[in-house]
Structure 1
């Protein structure tokens, strides 16, 4: 099915030339991300590998779902992207403007293009009730103001948390009948299936297919030796897991090294047995043994599973907060 691409953003007077991103633009896009991060100081920003994966997407053809503004010297000054899983009524955005080119209406124009782009995609797929979802750091006042002015609404809050690893660590035991298994990226299908089941009742989560999972477990920042699953001895089933990573540039922004739990899940039938606490405690021990100063993670503050309370009891404290905004498209 052919989807008509929206007109490029109307940014008359800025001197930007607009086109879609291509894989050849990965380095230029990463340069833009780095310039933005230097000013905005987000807790995390995309790696070069993340951007390359976006531009290799089959489900979200970059020719249709990206837009990029280059100045007269060929430098990328603004970019936007939309992505949605096949059949999903939720599309996600990424967008940004070079700090030296802000306050010219470029960001608002990119967001307007993203809305129209995804509106056409939903229409072509016969999807009604679709929304465009954007995450923004709470301290990024201009980003939040742009979304509010466009008519989007905040629908959820997420909190980053950290715990110093100096001193005694919590020691919740792994219950009898269970054992830890270190992640093998080449043989992690049971963990993928456990993740999809564990997150089936989590707000905003969608199943990860084999291709996306492969990128997750082979990501250059993922640390397999810190990533664990819990196996039930009697059945051999993978019933819980946590995946952890290390960003070598984290220290430049925060002044300390942190092992970060990216994903943590327990399948519903095995909840309430202390498996999540045991996983996090074991991860802390591994982080500390590797020289990390802190353990970190992120949490949906409205998660009904009680995750926020668990993390607080284990000594994690909030650091930054992000907002999930949604704009209804159909």
Structure 2
């Protein structure tokens, strides 16, 4: 088996022992040239898990070019004897200080039950421990992972490697059957469509403020957060400025609905990437009004539905809001973590 270069400075000679791969398998860091093969693997696994293809090459390529991600250190491709991709894993640790690195791994269905899942998690553990060494010593630190709800092989693998289920997320959906009611805007609030590119910084600042009340939010410098925002949302092939809606109160952005022109799983549906209302304007129906306005714009384009993801235990009551706007739970995502060090919690876990 070839060595895996997890970082440039260490662990090279320990790789074989670390992964404990079965005979015939080898491993190396992933590259952008692997994107087509990784996409095929991810879609084979999502077909097995939920019955649909949930990934596309362009979106994956964008993710793997995220600011702060180093494929050489932050990814692993496991290959079969014939050179096919048998498993893949990466770790995103982009927000600094990084105390909750997110690992994402999948094993091709044809290569399950051969110890590759354990190899993926062994790599994740080793990479996370490197981040742990760099994190301030007084902070709580855990590896986090997620899987589709109800997929027992992943749940068993994670539990068997010391991970605990700690939270759920939902993918929600509304099918556009019939007319969508007109939004009822709070007094003094008007709706505008985003003007690209001049309004990007103001939109990010408003969204960042709103998301300070989102579970798991960690404050970070403006420059780092804004760079990632532009990469993932404005750099997205499904970006359409005409589907970004701003609720304004005077010159202030009170809330935003930032929508993609399609859902990667279903291109007859649009996707609400972010919906946020700043604290001063909450409890006035603004979130629901923004959502209904977005739905009507989507329907006018001929789209058949809208989807979004939400924390199932949203601190601001987002699930109830979405249900009140006609959405239902389409799929559950299970979130796991493995605590590596207890300590001070710096992420948002409750509202003041």
Q: Please report how far the alpha carbon of residue 29 of structure 1 lies from its aligned counterpart in structure 2 after TM superposition.
A: 1.9
Decide whether aligned partners of structure 1 residues 102 and 243 sit closer, same or farther in structure 2, where only a CA change above 3 A counts: same
1:321 aligns with one of 306, 321, 332 = 332
Q: Does 1:243 align with 2:258?
A: yes
Query: Does the 8 Å contact 1:185/1:217 carry over to 2?
Result: no
User: Is the 2:30–2:77 contact (alpha carbons within 8 Å) kept by the matching residues of 1?
Assistant: yes
Query: Paired residue for 1:209?
Result: 225
Compute the displacement of 1:325 (Å).
0.5
- Residue 305 (structure 1) aligned with residue 311 (structure 2): no
Structure 2, unaligned runs of 5 or more = 1-6, 342-352
Q: Which residue of 1 aligns with 2:150?
A: 139
- 1:249 Cα offset (Å): 5.5
Partner SS state of residue 310, structure 2: strand
Q: Contact 1:132–1:328 at 8 Å: present in 2 too?
A: yes
- Separation in structure 2 between the aligned mates of residue 247 and residue 60 of structure 1, nearest angstrom: 26
Give the TM-score taking structure 2 as reference length: 0.84
CA-CA distance at 1:60 after TM superposition = 3.1
What do residues 200-238 of structure 1 show as CA deviations (whole Å, max 9, x unaligned)? Answer: 1211234561221112122112333222111222xx122
Which of residues 202, 206, 210 is equivalent to 1:198?
A: 210
C-alpha distance after superposition, 1:25-68 (max 9, x if no partner): 22222232232233223777343233323433452322112111
Query: 1:180, CA displacement in angstroms?
Result: 1.8
Structure 1: 5+ residue stretches without partners: none
Query: Is the Cα–Cα contact under 8 Å of residues 14 and 104 in structure 1 kept in the other structure?
Result: no
Match among 4, 17, 23 for residue 10 of structure 2 = 4
1:111 pairs, out of 117, 121, 127, with: 121
Alpha carbons of structure 1 residues 43 and 263: separation in structure 2 relative to 1, 3 Å: farther
Q: Greater CA deviation, 265-274 or 43-52?
A: 43-52
| RMSD after superposition | 2.3
TM-score (norm 1): 0.89
Pairing 1:99–2:99 present: no
The answer to whether the 8 A contact 1:21-1:55 is kept is no
Q: Compared with structure 1, are the counterparts of its residues 56 and 98 closer, same or farther at alpha carbon in structure 2 (3 Å cutoff)?
A: same
Distance 1:193 1:16 in 2: 47
- C-alpha contact 2:263 2:307 (8 A) present in aligned 1: no
1:189 aligns with 2:211: no
The aligned residue for residue 82 of structure 2 is 73
Question: Which region of structure 1 is more displaced relative to structure 2, 300-309 or 95-104?
Answer: 300-309
**Distance change (3 Å), C-alpha of 1:294 and 1:270:** same
Counterparts of 2:147 and 2:180, CA distance in 1: 33
